[in-house]
Structures are given as C-alpha cells and as structure tokens.
Chain A
Amino acid sequence: DAGVTQSPTHLIKTRGQQVTLRCSPKSGHDTVSWYQQALGQGPQFIFQYYEEEERQRGNFPDRFSGHQFPNYSSELNVNALWLGDSALYLCASSLGTGLESETQYFGPGTRLLVL
C-alpha cells in the first residue's frame, strides 16, 4: 500500500523565482491538503483540494496556488518567491468522508530554501 509521496525532496531557489511541488496521495484517498512548516513551528494549513477544486484556503497570499488532477495527485505552486517562503512543505491525503475521525496522512515533505 503506497503512502503519500512528494517530489522533489529538496529545492533551492532564488528570490522572485517560481516553484512547483508535487504530491501523490495514499492509495484510495481523494483529498489533498498542503501545509507549510517553518523552522521550529508546527505546520500551517495552506489549502485543500477535493474533486479537482480548492475547497478551503488558509491565511496565505495568492502567490500560493494549487491544482488537483483527475488521479487525485496535486501540485503546489508558489510565485515570486521571497526569503520567508523557506520552509518544509507537507502534503497530506485523506478520504473525503467529512467524518471527524478522518485521518490525514502526510508525505515526507519538500524542503524549500529561498536565497
């Protein structure tokens, strides 16, 4: 049973550039959520995708955008990178049942460094 996978594992960019991160959900899952984890902090919710639509968004600027494909995989795009975007980006997948016991399973993350 394949877990959540993310690519790339590490990425170095310079300010002003654009980046695309990728995520494949756990087998059988249809909902993908993205989180940003700054150094020494807990993850912060960016947005969530279900049925190829953004269902909810956290307190992140429009520079952060995403996409979900028919096979449930997802991309996170960040435009006009700045130093503060340096973080671990985590993808989590779940089954969109809406149940309060619904568990999100995380991938290994992508470490982004903006210079």
Chain B
Amino acid sequence: AQKITQTQPGMFVQEKEAVTLDCTYDTSDPSYGLFWYKQPSSGEMIFLIYQGSYDQQNATEGRYSLNFQKARKSANLVISASQLGDSAMYFCAMREALNTGFQKLVFGTGTRLLVSP
C-alpha cells in the first residue's frame, strides 16, 4: 500500500521569506503522481502543484515549486516569498492506481503553515 508521510505538524515563516514543507512517500509502483493541496480554514482543498514520477524537471507553478528527489522518495513543497494568505494546512498526496483502472488519492496528515507579518 502506498503511504505519505509529513513529519512537520506546524511551520512558521515570516512574510516574504521562503519555506519548505516536507513530504516523503512509499510506493512499489514504478509510475505514480504526487500532488500538493492547500486547505484554508474554510475547508476547501485547493490544488497547487503536480509532479509525475517520470517528469525530468521539478514542477513549478508561480510561487510554488516541488523539490522532487526520486531516490530519496521525497517531494517537498517550496513556497517562495510567503504571503499572509498562505497560512493554511498543506497536504501532500499520492495518486494510487486502482485495479479498476481508476485512481484515488492517498493523503498525508498535513502541515499547518503560519505566516507572520
């Protein structure tokens, strides 16, 4: 079974600084996908960034980048130039292929990020 581990329950960062949120994964599948979602206090899970296991380059989306180290099975999220609105829970998730041909997401326990002025 696939597993996602997020070891940082909480992180603090000052506005305009960069922050790295850790994520390690475990899978025996040669092909997989990794996702990061942001969950504000409102509850909605907001898709941030995706990394495929065969992608040669690290994914980037605006201020978000994914530091993908396949050999270490890590997929850390880097947020540059933090903003107050970045304060939220952040979840790392892995796509798990199902025997039906469909897929589900397996989530970690999340990291709460607090951005201070």
Residues of A within 8 A of B (CB): 31, 33, 35, 40-45, 48, 50, 55-56, 58, 88, 90, 92, 96, 98, 100-109, 111
Contacts and interface: CB of A to CB of B under 8 A. Distances in A.
A59 B18 CA distance: 38
Counting contact residues on chain B (CB < 8 A from A), the size range is: 20 to 34
22 contacts: A31-B102, A33-B105, A35-B105, A40-B109, A41-B109, A42-B107, A43-B91, A44-B107, A55-B100, A56-B99, A56-B100, A56-B102, A88-B43, A96-B102, A98-B102, A100-B32, A100-B33, A100-B97, A103-B35, A105-B47, A106-B45, A109-B44
A96 B102 CA distance: 8
A6 to B, nearest CB: 9
Contacts, number: 75
Interface of B: 4, 31-33, 35, 37, 42-47, 50, 52-53, 91, 93, 95, 97-110
Given A55-B100, A105-B47, A107-B44, A100 B105 contact: no
Contacts of A44: 107
